[in-house]
Amino acid sequence: MNHPLDRHRPSTSQVWLDVVSAVDYLSHGHRPGLTVYDALEESLRWHSAWPVGLHDEESIPSDTPELPWDDPDPLHTTLKHLVTDNPPGAEQGATTSTALHESLSHWVRHMSATYNDDRPWAHPQVAEIESPPRPAVVG
């Protein structure tokens, strides 16, 4: 289902590009081994810890639940908490996709403030692939 364009929030595609860019940067230095799935799990864990409608854009909640070190599937556990603690439809427009978007948006902003001097993440540039020269037509 398509939703009307909200010009006051970044598009979902833009947020995912920012997540990929942040993870790419952070995984090569500050947080080795970080994956997009780790970022999603962390952002949803933060999102679930905030009381509905009461979160500060500059911080993470102090009572963020920690997962056990031996949790075989932390994303599954966090998604289960999200659905259990924040069921979709509790308020107008509160859907799981909205929760994903808002949590990832906040995660990207927090990582930018913490590790990138509060600047937008640079997106990777794909090098243009040169096609091989065409064979000469003998005629």
Amino acid identity of 52? V
In a domain, 123, yes or no: no
Within a domain: 57? no
pLDDT tens for each residue of 34-58: 999 999 988 888 887 765 544 555 5
**Which residues constitute the domain of residue 23?**
12-50+70-115
Whole-angstrom Cα distance, residue 88 to residue 42? 19
125: in domain: no
pLDDT of residue 89 exceeding 50, the answer is yes
In a domain, 134, yes or no: no
Separation of alpha carbons 107 and 10, rounded Å: 14
Q: With respect to residue 56, please indicate whether it lies within any of the assigned structural domains.
A: no
Give the list of residues 6+ apart from residue 94 with CB closer than 8 angstroms, or none.
Answer: 86, 88
Q: How far is CA 45 from CA 2, 33, 79, 106, in A?
A: 27, 19, 8, 12
Split into its structural domains, the chain has a count of 1
The two three-digit tokens of residue 70, written as one number: 């031996």
Provide the pLDDT for residue 116: 92
